[in-house]
A and B are shown apart, each in its own frame.
Chain A
Amino acid sequence: MSHDESLHPDRMDGSRPEGPPLGPYAWWSHPAAERPRIWDDPANVRKLLIGFYIACAVLVLLELVVDRHEYHPWEAIFGFHAWYGFAACWMLVVIAKQMRRVLMRSEDYYDVD
């Protein structure tokens, strides 16, 4: 991979130079092409996500076998921390997105007199 080639200002958007389509190993013979990285392949991303979903399921199911102490009455609810974490983050983002309607300004808002 050549850093100089890829830094060409015309290609700062990540586009490839024009020409015939390049194969997956073209980076070897064709310096302008980039070696594909691990997350460029959607199959890898899918594998990661499937592993993640399984981990989530296992974490909740572990509650059935692990003797868990409760320090707060709500913790008696099955999977309390799981759904609380999920709901908290979902709400956080949905509310924050609505806050933009009121709070968002252009980047030079304070610079303009």
Chain B
Amino acid sequence: MWIDLPPFILLFVGGVLAAVTRGTLRKSIMLAVPILGGLNLIGVEHGARFQYEVAGQTLTLFRPDGLSLLFGYLFHLAAFIGNLFALHLTDEEGATLQHSSALLYAGSALGAVFAGDLITMFVFWELLAFTSVFLIWARGTERSYRTGFRYLVIHVLSGVLLLSGAIIRAQETGSIEFGNIGLDGSLGAWLILISFGIKAAFPLAHNWLTDSYPESTATGAVFLSAFTTKVAIYGLARGYAGTEMLVYIGAVMTAFPIFYAVIENDLRRVLGYSMINQIGFMVTGIGLGTALGVNGAVAHAFNDVIFKGLLFMTMGSVLRQTGRINGSDLGGLYKTMPWTAAFCIVGAASISAFPLFSGFASKSMVMAAALEEGHSIVWLVLLFAAAGVFHHAGIKIPFFAFYGHDSGIRTTDPPKNMLVAMGISAVLCIVIGTFPEQTLYRILPFEGGYHPYDVTHVLTQTQLLFFGALAFVGLQKFHIYPAELRSINIDVEWLYRWVAPRIVGGVGSLVSRIDGAVRGTAVSAARRVIAVGSRDHAGEGLLARTWPTGSMLLWVAILLVGYITFYLAR
């Protein structure tokens, strides 16, 4: 550590510089800022600092400890890989907007995990939404524009819940410090949990993720997949470790999205569903609350950022090179995008938790923790989900994009910076997966050794995956496997994208019809009065002829009636 400074500051400065510089200078800033920030965290002293007294409460901007530092390193790494992947962007693609908001977004994530109190966290919580939405809007389509607004509304709502919870807690406990909260039956604790739950894509609140990530830019999805949900996982690990409800919520999260993933056509949306599945493993680990469970959860968060980022990068490359991302339009791309195909397979092997790949070293911790705590059924659900994730993310994504039916599309591998970014991620997946005890396990927040590589575990996991693949081969051979169809599948969002507008529209048209009738009657009555009144006033352009006066008359009358009613009813 050279300078003792809250890490978000450097990233924010970088974000501003990225907006005002161009060319090679900007590229150097994009790469140097996350590297310098990450190096600056090495050997940092633990403990809260940069504290300010505001209205009797202490705001803490920098609280490095085991848990926040793991996410601190991770977010710098993710920002570096993401920036490298996006380095080629041109002005036509909105380079300035995307580069700048990516750095500000990464800074907000760092601000949130190093915040020592709930109010500071709230500020960065909202900034996460406002900085990242530009990575969706930069796509420039009508659809991304609408999706961005939905994304913003949901995340602002999550922030409002966090703020409300923080205020209630401050009144109850007298402090806004963010430590272990737990569900003690107080409203504040519930509100904060729901706020975290929305950002972590809990079931029923998950749809913002699968709605927005596929509509973002080819490079933007890489950043989006890295930060928002992982900040929520950090919040849950800090505040709600050992909350039993989370074990079951997590189990549901691992299981239900994989059904959607199997029938989804947009391959980036498939990744979105598989992301909820992976977050489910983390939430379960946090709910278990043991050292092994929480270590497993945050280790899996670390790995997920890298391998999910890698998968989003490969699909982003496909989207950039071919202009298509639907499984029904793709296939056979291994012929012309061999590197991308190879990186995709590494990412797929990692998310599927193949031995020697990163997912294996962390997912197994959560599953072992579930068995240790006697959650037999949850373990079976997790095992089902572990097989299922291989099926859709491990096989479906590479198979339908790069192999399978030849779509006839002939293109090339993406630019070098994109390939190098994917290459770094792929190497990290293999190194962490092969040597977890020398790498990732060293920065885990809690004590307690875990050895993923024993014979039983390697054998059983390989059996699970190979026979899952065997099922895929069988389903393809017998033509049972559902074809990729140009279609979408309705999800919870149907309620607010289809049902609600129609209810609002129906009520609205009813209201406007009643309003129109009432107004019409009132206006014609008023006109008659005015006509009578103006008979003697010869001349033209009487004010009473115009609409606003008519309705003003009506509203004054209503106000008067209301006032009298309240006065009498008092």
Q: Is the interface of B mostly helix, strand, loop or mixed?
A: helix
Nearest CB in chain A: distance from B287 CB, A: 19
The answer to whether A63 and B489 have CB atoms under 8 Å apart is no
> Please, which residues of chain B bring their CB within 8 A of the CB of A76?
none
1/0 per residue A94-107: CB within 8 Å of B? 11110110011111
The answer to whether A85 and B335 have CB atoms under 8 Å apart is no
CB interface residues, A 1-40, toward B, < 8 Å: 3, 6-7, 11-15, 34, 37, 39-40
- Is A43 part of the contact surface with B, judged by Cβ < 8 Å? no
> Please, which residues of chain A bring their CB within 8 A of the CB of B485?
104
- Known interface pairs A90-B475, A100-B489, A104-B263; A14-B407 also in contact (CB < 8 Å): yes
Most A CB within 10 A of own CB, among B410, B412, B482? B410
- Is B170 part of the contact surface with A, judged by Cβ < 8 Å? no
- Known interface pairs A14-B407, A89-B391; A84-B383 also in contact (CB < 8 Å): yes
The answer to whether A55 and B376 have CB atoms under 8 Å apart is no
The answer to whether B489 and A88 have CB atoms under 8 Å apart is no
Contact check: which of B384, B463, B469 meets A60 at CB < 8 Å?
B463
A side interface size, CB within 8 A: 57
The answer to whether A88 and B473 have CB atoms under 8 Å apart is no
Nearest CB in chain A: distance from B277 CB, A: 12
**Selected interface stretch from B59-67, B105-113, B453-461, B542-550:** B453-461
Most B CB within 10 A of own CB, among A13, A83, A86? A86
> Please, which residues of chain B bring their CB within 8 A of the CB of A83?
467
The answer to whether A86 and B468 have CB atoms under 8 Å apart is yes
Measured CB to CB, the nearest residue on chain B to A45 is B403
Nearest CB in chain A: distance from B501 CB, A: 8
> Please, which residues of chain B bring their CB within 8 A of the CB of A56?
466-467, 470
B side interface size, CB within 8 A: 61
> Please, which residues of chain A bring their CB within 8 A of the CB of B466?
52, 55-56, 59, 82, 85
In the complex, A82→B387 CA distance in Å?
10
Q: Is the interface of A mostly helix, strand, loop or mixed?
A: helix
In the complex, A21→B31 CA distance in Å?
52
- Is A69 part of the contact surface with B, judged by Cβ < 8 Å? yes
The answer to whether B412 and A3 have CB atoms under 8 Å apart is yes
In the complex, A6→B368 CA distance in Å?
51
> Please, which residues of chain A bring their CB within 8 A of the CB of B472?
89
The answer to whether B468 and A89 have CB atoms under 8 Å apart is yes
In the complex, A97→B480 CA distance in Å?
9
- Known interface pairs A71-B371, A89-B471, A100-B482; A59-B463 also in contact (CB < 8 Å): yes
- Known interface pairs A49-B473, A85-B471, A107-B488; A92-B388 also in contact (CB < 8 Å): yes
| Contacts A/B (CB < 8 Å), 23 sampled | A3-B410, A6-B410, A14-B407, A37-B334, A66-B456, A72-B376, A74-B380, A81-B383, A81-B460, A83-B467, A84-B387, A86-B468, A89-B387, A92-B384, A93-B471, A93-B475, A93-B481, A97-B480, A97-B482, A99-B489, A103-B491, A104-B488, A105-B487
* Contacts from A to B (Cβ < 8 Å): 3, 6-7, 11-15, 34, 37, 39-40, 49, 52-53, 55-56, 59-60, 62-63, 66-69, 71-72, 74-75, 79-90, 92-97, 99-100, 103-107, 109-111
